[in-house]
Structure 1
Amino acid sequence: MGKYEKDSKDLLAAIGGTENISAVTHCATRMRFVLNDPKKADEKQIEDIPSVKGMFTNAGQFQVIVGNDVATFYNEFAAVSGVKGVSKEAAKSAAKQNQNPVQRAITVLAEIFTPLLPAIIVGGLILGFRNILEAVPMGWLDGQTIVQASQFWDGVNSFLWLPGEAIFHFLPVGITWSIARKMGATEILGIVLGITLVSPQLLNAYAVNGTTAAEIAKDWTWNFGFFTIDKIGYQAQVIPAMLAGFLLVYLERFFRKRIPEAISMIFVPFFSLIPTILAAHLILGPIGWKIGTAISAVVNAGLTSSVSWLFGGIFGALYSPLVITGLHHTTLAIDSQLIADFGSTNLWPMICLSNIAQGAAVLAIVFAHRGNKKEEQVSIPSVISAWLGVTEPAMFGINLKYTYPFIAAMIGSGIAGLFVTLFKVRALSIGVGGLPGILAIRPQDYLIFGIGMLIAIVVPFVLTLAFRKVGLFNKIDQIEEGNEPSLDNQPTKKTGAIVELFAPITGFLQPLNKAKDPVFAEGMMGQGAVIEPSEGKLVAPFDGHISLLFPTKHAIGLVSNEGTEVLIHIGIDTVKLDGQYFTSHIKQGDAVEKGQLLMEFDIDAIKAAGYDVQTPIIVTNSTDYQVDSLIEEAPVTNAEKILVATEL
Structure 2
Amino acid sequence: MKDPKTLAQAILTHVGGEENVISVVHCATRLRFKLKDKNKAVKQTIEQLTGVIQVVESGGQFQVVIGNEVADVYRELTQMMSPTENADEVPQEKGNVLSKAIDIISAIFTPILGVLAGAGILKGLLLIFEAVGWLSEADGTYHILFAGADSLFYFLPILLAITSARKFGADPYVAVVVAGALLYPTIVDAFESGVNWTFLGIPVVLASYATSVIPIILAVYVLSHLQKFITPRIPSSVRLFFVPLILISVTVPLTLLLFGPFGSMVSGWLADGYSFLYALSPIVAGVFIGAVWQVLVIFGLHWGLVPIMMNNLSAFGSDTLTALIAPAVFGQAGAALAVFFKTRVTSVKAISGSASLSGLFGVTEPAVYGVTLRYKKPFVMGSIAGAIGGGIVGLSGSAAIASGLPGLASLPIFFTDGFAGLIVAITVAFVLAILLTYLFGYNDRMVSGENDQKKEVAPSESLNKTYTLTSPLSGKVVPLSQVSDEAFSSGALGEGVGIKPHEGNLFAPADGVVQTVFPTHHAYGLQSDDGVEVLMHIGIDTVQLDGAHFQAHVKQGAHVKQGTLLATFDIEAIEKAGYDATTVVVVTNSKAYLDVVPADSGTVTGNDRLVEIMI
Normalising by the residue count of structure 2, what TM-score does the alignment of the two structures yield?
A: 0.62
CA distance in 1, matches of 2:91, 2:199: 48
CA distance in 2, matches of 1:24, 1:448: 46
Instruction: Tell me by how many angstroms 1:236 deviates.
Output: 0.7
Q: Classify 1:355/1:479 alpha carbon distance in 2 versus 1 (closer, same or farther; 3 Å).
A: farther
Secondary structure of the residue aligned to 2:186 is coil
Alignment of 1:142-161 (within 5 A): 145-148=133-136, 154-161=139-146
Aligned with residue 184 of structure 1, among 150, 169, 194: 169
Which residue of the partner structure matches residue 195 of structure 1? 180
Instruction: Tell me by how many angstroms 1:25 deviates.
Output: 4.5
CA distance in 1, matches of 2:538, 2:589: 8
Q: Classify 1:283/1:526 alpha carbon distance in 2 versus 1 (closer, same or farther; 3 Å).
A: farther
Q: Classify 1:109/1:620 alpha carbon distance in 2 versus 1 (closer, same or farther; 3 Å).
A: farther
Aligned with residue 296 of structure 2, among 291, 308, 322: 322
Which residue of the partner structure matches residue 354 of structure 1? 328
Matched, 1:430 2:403: yes
Q: Is the 8 A contact 2:397 2:417 kept in 1?
A: no
Alignment of 1:241-640 (within 5 A): 241-305=216-280, 307-369=281-343, 371-468=344-441, 496-499=479-482, 501=484, 565-567=539-541, 589-590=572-573, 623=587
Q: Classify 1:567/1:469 alpha carbon distance in 2 versus 1 (closer, same or farther; 3 Å).
A: closer
Which residue of the partner structure matches residue 112 of structure 2? 116
Which residue of the partner structure matches residue 37 of structure 1? none
Instruction: Tell me by how many angstroms 1:263 deviates.
Output: 2.8
Q: Classify 1:272/1:592 alpha carbon distance in 2 versus 1 (closer, same or farther; 3 Å).
A: same
- Percent sequence identity over aligned pairs: 24
Q: Is the 8 A contact 2:56 2:62 kept in 1?
A: yes
CA distance in 2, matches of 1:647, 1:171: 63
CA distance in 1, matches of 2:337, 2:113: 27
Matched AA of 1:258: R
Matched AA of 2:540: V
Normalising by the residue count of structure 1, what TM-score does the alignment of the two structures yield?
A: 0.59
String of CA shifts for 1:23-70, please: whole Å, max 9, x gaps.
8843466699xxxxxxxxxxxxxxxxxxxxx9975556999xxxxxxx
String of CA shifts for 1:551-602, please: whole Å, max 9, x gaps.
xxxx9989xxx988433889xxxxxxxxxxxxxxxx9955669xx988xxxx
Matched AA of 1:275: V
CA distance in 2, matches of 1:380, 1:183: 40
CA distance in 1, matches of 2:543, 2:262: 47
Aligned residues: 444
Q: Classify 1:249/1:61 alpha carbon distance in 2 versus 1 (closer, same or farther; 3 Å).
A: closer
Instruction: Tell me by how many angstroms 1:309 deviates.
Output: 1.0
Q: Is the 8 A contact 1:128 1:440 kept in 2?
A: yes
Matched, 1:26 2:40: yes
Instruction: Tell me by how many angstroms 1:268 deviates.
Output: 2.0
Q: Is the 8 A contact 2:339 2:442 kept in 1?
A: no
Q: Is the 8 A contact 1:357 1:410 kept in 2?
A: yes
Unpaired runs of 5+ residues, structure 1, are: 1-21, 33-53, 64-88, 138-144, 482-486, 488-494, 504-511, 513-522, 528-542, 548-554, 571-586, 599-618, 627-645
CA distance in 2, matches of 1:202, 1:556: 64
Instruction: Tell me by how many angstroms 1:246 deviates.
Output: 0.6
Q: Classify 1:155/1:62 alpha carbon distance in 2 versus 1 (closer, same or farther; 3 Å).
A: closer
Instruction: Tell me by how many angstroms 1:95 deviates.
Output: 7.7
Q: Classify 1:155/1:476 alpha carbon distance in 2 versus 1 (closer, same or farther; 3 Å).
A: farther
User: Please, what is the CA RMSD of the aligned residues?
Assistant: 4.6
Instruction: Tell me by how many angstroms 1:465 deviates.
Output: 2.4
Secondary structure of the residue aligned to 2:541 is strand
CA distance in 1, matches of 2:43, 2:102: 27
